Amino acid sequence: MKQRMAGGARHAAVFLLGMAHMALGLWAGSAAGGWAWRHGYTLPYDTSSSAGMSAAIVFGLLAAGAVLVLPEPWMNRVRHLIAGRPLVPCPTCGAPTPPPASPDTNTTPKEIAQ
């Protein structure tokens, strides 16, 4: 029972971390778009009546994309740490990968050869 509770808490923490990261990205996009709108920024060669709105949207998308994409390797490490499976270096290439799963995860004591 304790293992299920701990696993559930870990999954909930990973989910909340992802939600916080998404909320931070949305906030950054909104803040950048609002800043561009308030300061009257426009895109080059945009002479339409909605030039300010276009620039605000582009600034917001760029900021949100940067906040969500650039720290993804670190977020991936933190997610795996919270889940209890820290990333380890691959023996062949050196890239961080999840540890190999135990080969006997689905065996029961009755199935183990004596």
| Separation between Cα atoms, residue 53 and residue 35, nearest integer Å | 11
The answer to whether 28 touches 55, Cβ cutoff 8 Å, is no
Domain of 70, in residue numbers: 2-97
In this structure, of 34-38, 77-81, 88-92, 100-104, the range with the lowest mean pLDDT score is 100-104
Q: Using alpha carbons only, how large is the chain's radius of gyration in Å?
A: 23
pLDDT digits (tens, 9 = 90+) for 64-76: 999 999 998 899 8
Burial of 90 (0-12, 13-18, 19+ CB in 10 A): exposed
Q: Does residue 12 belong to any structural domain of this protein?
A: yes
Q: Does residue 105 belong to any structural domain of this protein?
A: no
Q: What is the mean pLDDT of residues 51-63?
A: 95
Total domains in the fold of the chain: 1
80 CB-near residues (< 8 Å, 6+ apart): 86, 87, 98
**Most confident option among 55-59, 90-94, 101-105:** 55-59
pLDDT digits (tens, 9 = 90+) for 9-35: 999 999 999 999 999 999 999 999 999
